[in-house]
A and B are shown apart, each in its own frame.
Chain A
């Protein structure tokens, strides 16, 4: 086909952007399916307008409570709950990191033998698939109420998070550096120490601090199912409609999270 012919064919005809899904039947069918789904889904939500309008004033009270939070009247409870949350956060992060390092090494295909790899990947998948709250419920059932259940839950969750990312990081590392160390005749441990560790350390530190942040946020809800921390105090405050106390707790959580995020930003910038 000559170019001259082509341009004549094109002139005077409309142009529209090529569609993302080329087949028009699939495209319109897809759109229709979405609309039908949204219609059904929205209709299946039961809305009790009377209850909501009654609740709106309470919602407004809660918003007002933020401008006037009450730190003092349940100060003792808040303090104890916060300390417990922080304690759970610190212990579970430390223990979680210590366990995730060997598991992370085992879950990296390029340094672990296949049986070890499969076992470690299995642990990682299990830990990632189970929601923290569900694990916490089971731990409370097994170990009884209290921060120990929370500590075990978060340690377990930390393993799934950190091992997976550590393993991926090791799999992505620069092979040449590691090979150079191997070529010196180092033992396996020396090889990990000199060839692998320097490459993954900055990221491991960054991830650990990020996980500290996540663990703190999670520790705030563990109390809802009896696994210790500030959550129990918060739950009580909501049950009694003590919004000013609840607002105080939420503000403390927000401030601590912001501080942790700021801190992690500084530390990550320094190690990299």
Chain B
């Protein structure tokens, strides 16, 4: 469904963040993107919906080349890609409900959105999603009154109300505690399954990635180093991506965690 062809990004400073990345993601697949900081994970995700303009190469979504779209077409393409951010990126001074509804901005006209007169179907969907992520009572609270985990749930609802085919998820757990991190990751993966969504989850926590997704991509200095299942991610591979380190503990932990999960 999503195809990246020789996707390259060179920043004005001369840094090559992406070096001709080729990638194909079938519909409904959840994929984790791992790699050290500066590997180009964020850039890759942002090149897909052109928050960062790629230097060359192409992004094909359902066969449509996104890199060639004009501003109107880009808006329409962005509607079909929901994005979830590190540190939530909610508009803090707006209410939870407004933040969720802002996911519909690509569908409604300016005045409708300005006057907060959304179609009834959007409002119902917003309430359903808030209910699904467990925040229905918070609808009229201001976003900055929420805790980190709650904010990320609102961020998820905002992405889903777009009715996307693809989720772009940028470090969803970077500022959350371990328990909340897992809950959020589980929620994202569950929702993807329910709605048959494909997702690119960019994550630095290898253990968390192994726990939840079917396919892992390793990125290093803008180049693909690894593409396989969580089981294939061995010590050698991690060393290749991140450099020399004792990886046994990391992998071990995952196995323990899984055992623990099964027990409970």
Interface, chain A (partner B; CB < 8 A): 3, 6-7, 10-18
Contacts and interface: CB of A to CB of B under 8 A. Distances in A.
6 contacts: A3-B134, A6-B131, A10-B124, A14-B120, A18-B95, A18-B140
Interface in B128-145: 128, 131, 134, 136-137, 139-140
Interface of B: 95, 97-98, 116, 118, 120, 123-124, 126-128, 131, 134, 136-137, 139-140
Given A14-B123, A15-B123, A7 B140 contact: no
A17 B124 contact: no
Contacts of B136: 3, 6-7, 10
Contacts of B97: 15, 17
Residue picked from A10, A13, A15, A17, most chain B C-beta under 10 Å: A15
B116 A12 contact: no
**7 A-B pairs with the lowest CB-CB distances in the bound complex, closest first:** A7-B131, A10-B127, A15-B123, A18-B140, A17-B116, A11-B124, A6-B136
B93 to A, nearest CB: 12
B116 A11 contact: no
Most chain A beta-carbon neighbours within 10 Å: one of B97, B116, B123, B126: B123
Contacts of A13: 123
B120 A16 contact: no
A11 B128 contact: yes
Given A7-B131, A17-B95, A12 B140 contact: no
B120 A3 contact: no
A14 to B, nearest CB: 7
A7 B133 CA distance: 12
A18 B139 CA distance: 10
A5 B10 CA distance: 53
Given A3-B134, A18-B140, 11 more contacts: A3-B131, A7-B128, A10-B124, A11-B128, A13-B123, A15-B97, A15-B126, A15-B139, A17-B97, A17-B98, A17-B116
A123 B208 CA distance: 64
Contacts of B134: 3
